[in-house]
Amino acid sequence: MTPILLNHIILQPIFYIGAVVLLFLFGWKTQGRAPDIHRYVLIAAPHTSNWDFIFFLLIVFKLRLPVYWMGKDSMFRWPFKGILKRLGGIPVNRSEKNNVVSFMTKAFENSERLVITIAPSGARRNTGPWKTGFYHIAREAKVPIVCGFIDYQHKTIGIGPVFHPTGDMGADMDAIRAVYAPFSGRPSLSFTER
């Protein structure tokens, strides 16, 4: 099970070249590399802007990661619905109490290769507690957590360390958050800056 367009034999090299060129033109650097693991949860943080999605897609293309990602269902409307799903998008209805953790755990159990990307903040903000669904998915599916990061101050995007959930969620979350301490999200514009 892999996203159709990300794994397409002709499109994959085009996406790769496009990502390399666009990152260069935007002046962004990349760090890290895809881990040699077939199944994991890739977290994407900090999530402070709609631009994060674009930059994370570019690193996915550059590293040729066949990832799935969860997004609010309002994103999956015409004319973008088809392309977003083919790029690995999974629509999530936040207003319904559905068991996303159980659904994703079963997906991992039934897949030899699966990478799911989740923004732990759950929304475009840089403050407040992270949602812990990504942690519960990784723990219940017995897969590691890989840190994906974006740093607007240094114009760097990349893949960081791999964490294996220990079951001590407080300690694990503290260790994961510490990875993101040096990174800054996209600053919001004040009225005087517009």
Q: How many structural domains are present in the chain?
A: 1
H/E/C letters for each residue in the chain?
CCCCCCCCCCHHHHHHHHHHHHHHHHCCEEECCCCCCCEEEEEEECCCCCHHHHHHHHHHHHHCCCEEEEEEHHHCCCCCHHHHHHCCEEEECCCCCCCHHHHHHHHHHCCCCEEEEECCCCCCCCCCCCCCHHHHHHHHHCCCEEEEEEECCCCEEEEEEEECCCCCHHHHHHHHHHHHCCCCCCCCCCHHHC
pLDDT tens-digit series, residues 26-76: 999 999 888 899 999 999 888 788 788 888 888 888 888 878 887 778 888
Does 192 fall in a domain? no
| 116 and 42 Cβ atoms separated by less than 8 Å | yes
**Domain encompassing residue 171:** 11-186
Q: Is the pLDDT of residue 111 over 50?
A: yes
- Comparing C-alpha atoms, which of 73, 53, 75, 39 is closest to residue 162? 39
CB atoms within 10 A of CB 173: 17
pLDDT of residue 4: 52
* Alpha-carbon dihedral angle through residues 115, 120, 123, 127, given to the nearest 10 degrees: -150
Q: Could you give the CA distance from residue 121 to residue 106 in angstroms, rounded to a whole number?
A: 23
Out of 6-10, 102-106, 111-115, 165-169, give the one with best mean pLDDT.
165-169
Does 126 fall in a domain? yes
Query: In the structure encoding, which two tokens stand for residue 16, read together?
Result: 């790769």
pLDDT band at 190 (very low <50, low <70, confident <90, very high): very low
Query: What would the mean pLDDT of 147-160 be, rounded to a whole number?
Result: 91
Q: Could you give the CA distance from residue 68 to residue 114 in angstroms, rounded to a whole number?
A: 8
Note the Cα 141 to chain centre separation in Å: 18
pLDDT tens-digit series, residues 135-150: 999 999 999 999 999 9
Does 42 fall in a domain? yes
* Alpha-carbon dihedral angle through residues 35, 149, 156, 115, given to the nearest 10 degrees: 40
Model pTM score? 0.80
123 compared with 64, residue with greater pLDDT: 64
Does 5 fall in a domain? no
| 48 and 120 Cβ atoms separated by less than 8 Å | no
Does 90 fall in a domain? yes
Does 120 fall in a domain? yes
Q: Is the pLDDT of residue 193 over 50?
A: no
Does 1 fall in a domain? no
